[in-house]
Amino acid sequence: MTVDVQVPTAVGLLSAAAAAGATVVLSGHVQPDADALGSTLALAEGLRRCGARVVATFPEPFVLPQSLRWLPGADRLVHPGTVPADADLFVSLDAASPGRLGALAGLLESAGRSIVVDHHASNPGFGDVPVVDPHAAATVVLVADLLEGLGVDLDGQLATCLYAGLAADTGSFRFGNTDPGTHELAARLLRTGIDHAAISQRLFDTAPFGWLGLLSAVTGRAVLEPDVGAGLVLTWSTAAEAREHGLAPDQLEALVDVVRATAEADVAAVLKGADDGSWVVSMRSRGATDVARVAMALGGGGHRAAAGYSSRLDREGTIAQLRAELAR
């Protein structure tokens, strides 16, 4: 998509809302990751310091992953059912499409104005003021720009939220979306005195013992299909299986980053089954395949190297559909 980064316009709207003590609702996408949540919490705190009345939330299911509950300000998130529909300003963060906002997507119409802050290449452009840059390594990069425009000084609380999102979406600065600006922002955040090692340990290197059993089961059923597209490695799990190992279903999110290490496949895919029978497919590419194109063709979105979508087909039907699209 075309880059549409209206940072000055967005800063003007946010500044005016804060000066007026207006109500600003902020939301990340459904089942928020570190970038969505870090972006929401950092901007929420910044706006509070400017005088805005802030309501920060995310769509149902309103359950925070264990790995993110420690982020500063997470305890101030409110249930989406309590959010006022007539807010003065609504800010969507890290949602590639209105559908990723669940029932909160209605705020795009019912709120006085709306700002969309996002970095997904598949974002079609929505909301009154799009702050959308697919070249940004993470949505927290754009939030850092907004905070700077608002005159909010970075401190340990804000930097922790921003660094969590930056580290997560760059794979600890290993992914191809890492550029000089990424490291420059990281350096700014580190200068506040945050404990980056502790943040990374909580994000990437801490899991219940049951994770090992789940990992064994899921990797044990992985299949390699070198003739599908540029090569596909595929496996699956379900929320029920996660619970059998004493884990919350959100623990399934990390599986694709294990499977992606397969050298013989350009695309890694993990199917994650929900209790209602639907599947969420997470994909990663080693570079030859644009998985955002695949995801968009199947109703989802994302980036060239990392994307996903949802399927109402059964497991075999979902796999067959994925194989067919990768073969195009």
What does the pLDDT look like over 193-216, one tens digit per residue?
999 999 999 999 999 999 999 999
Share of the chain above pLDDT 70, in %: 99
- Predicted confidence at residue 2, as pLDDT, reads 44
- Predicted confidence at residue 5, as pLDDT, reads 73
- Predicted confidence at residue 268, as pLDDT, reads 98
Rounded to the nearest integer, the mean pLDDT of the chain is 95
- Who's near 82: CB < 8 A, 6+ residues apart? none
DSSP state of 244: H
What does the pLDDT look like over 24-58, one tens digit per residue?
999 999 989 999 999 999 999 999 999 999 999 99
pLDDT category of residue 1 using cuts at 50, 70 and 90: very low
Please choose, from the candidates 102, 44, 51, the residue with its C-alpha nearest in 3D space to the C-alpha of residue 71.
44
- Predicted confidence at residue 4, as pLDDT, reads 62
Positive or negative CA dihedral for 177, 180, 184, 186? positive
What does the pLDDT look like over 81-127, one tens digit per residue?
999 999 999 999 999 999 999 999 999 999 999 999 999 988 999 99
Cα–Cα distance measured from residue 293 to residue 272, given in angstroms and rounded to the nearest whole number: 20
Tokens for 132, please give them: 């959308």
Cα–Cα distance measured from residue 10 to residue 318, given in angstroms and rounded to the nearest whole number: 40
What does the pLDDT look like over 145-197, one tens digit per residue?
999 999 999 999 999 999 999 999 999 999 989 999 999 999 999 999 999 99
What does the pLDDT look like over 209-257, one tens digit per residue?
999 999 999 999 999 999 999 999 999 999 999 999 999 998 999 999 9
Share of the chain above pLDDT 90, in %: 92
Tokens for 263, please give them: 């050298």
pLDDT category of residue 3 using cuts at 50, 70 and 90: low
- Who's near 47: CB < 8 A, 6+ residues apart? 14, 17, 18, 24, 26, 54, 150
